[in-house]
Amino acid sequence: MTTNIKKASTYTARRYTAADAGLWNDFVMAAKNATFLFHRDFMDYHSDRFTDFSVLIFKDDSLYAVLPANVKRDKVISHQGLTYGSFVLQDGAKLLYALEAFKEMLRFLASEMIRKLEIRVIPTFYNVMPSDELSYFMFKAHATLLHRDALMVIDNNHKLKFQKNRREGINKAIRNGLKIKIEDTFDDFWNDVLIPNLKNKHGIAPVHSLEEIKMLAARFPENVKQVNVYKEDKVVAGTTVFLTKTTIHPQYVSGNADKNSFGSLDLAYDFIINHFKKDKRYFDFNISSEDNGKVLNSGLIFWKESCGARTYTADTYEIDTEAHNKIDLTIK
């Protein structure tokens, strides 16, 4: 009698190189817990600012997971140039195999003299199907929770109406004759509204330069949109919107000094919430907490909740790479 014995899979990890771009992009675009921000054409636009240390993890000869990341001294961070990071998997990934792949990634990082791994887990509403593996792995590896941010999000499957004060703002905009347009150009909003406002109010510049956002819009025309609010022929407010498979996210929003008297921001938000929602379940207002999640910005929360948003969280963890020796794989 012949007994068939299934050979155990072999897991290997290695650092990403430019030659892997096609393999990486194909994997990410089919992943269940990734967005276009993980595409190399997005990640690499600021490659001069960060030392890339992305990792590919293979199960036998097949790519099974990737980690978008950069390195800073003896620490790998996923990713300082992006809003969030993840241990990226496709929908065919299974929990026990993914845990083996995660352990192999930690082992590889430790072998490269990396002591710590920091990950801000991608918020769950960006995932196209259940994908909480990474949060479970953090628990198994006794990771440290560095901070937990509060995000305000609209769920279009359970949508709440704008409250009275927001509806009054929209009516004010209509009375003022404001008009909204989806634009092919970013210059007027960025040069006349966004950049001056950030400089005058906060003494800062946008994370992206105007040239960078135009380049990203050219590379990802279905994902990066510009919406402007006009009074007569002048831009008085606007938003640069990022669109993922599941979510509408206003990356930049700003209005001129008359925004409250014109109602221009209420009109802008009402438009982008409703115009792009056809195949998007969520609208992400972004973080409303400060100081690593310890302080809540009550003004931001009040405004966003009056638009119908409610709370999700985004966790950032730090893990010792030597934890690959400690993760218990005991199963029944």
Whole-prediction pTM: 0.92
Task: Indicate whether 331 belongs to any domain.
Answer: no
Task: Indicate whether 52 belongs to any domain.
Answer: yes
Could you tell me if 17 and 143 lie in one domain? yes
Structure tokens, 154: 């609209």
Could you tell me if 241 and 321 lie in one domain? no
Could you tell me if 126 and 181 lie in one domain? no
pLDDT in tens, 261-320: 789 999 999 999 999 998 999 999 988 998 988 999 999 999 999 999 999 999 999 999
Q: What's the confidence (pLDDT) of residue 131?
A: 95
Structure tokens, 268: 């802008």
Could you tell me if 141 and 209 lie in one domain? no
Task: Indicate whether 96 belongs to any domain.
Answer: yes
Could you tell me if 177 and 217 lie in one domain? yes
Task: Kindly report the average pLDDT of the chain as a whole number.
Answer: 93
Backbone phi and psi for residue 286, each to the nearest 5 degrees, phi listed first: 80, -170
Could you tell me if 196 and 270 lie in one domain? yes
Structure tokens, 275: 């115009």
Query: Band of the pLDDT at 3, cuts 50, 70, 90?
Result: very low
Domain count, the chain: 2
How many whole angstroms from its chain centre is CA 159? 22
For residue 232, give the CATH number of its domain: 3.40.630.30
Q: State the residue range of the domain holding 259.
A: 161-276
Q: How far apart are CA 132 and CA 90, in angstroms?
A: 12
pLDDT in tens, 165-175: 889 999 999 99
Q: Is the peptide bond before 79 cis (omega within 30 degrees of 0)?
A: yes
Could you tell me if 143 and 16 lie in one domain? yes
Q: What's the confidence (pLDDT) of residue 316?
A: 96
Task: Indicate whether 214 belongs to any domain.
Answer: yes
pLDDT in tens, 154-213: 999 999 999 998 899 999 999 999 999 999 899 999 999 999 999 998 899 999 999 999
Could you tell me if 127 and 174 lie in one domain? no
Could you tell me if 136 and 177 lie in one domain? no
Query: Where are any strands of DSSP class E within the chain?
Result: 11-15, 51-52, 55-59, 62-67, 70-72, 75-78, 116-120, 144-155, 178-183, 224-231, 234-243, 247-255, 282-287, 289-290, 295-296, 310-320
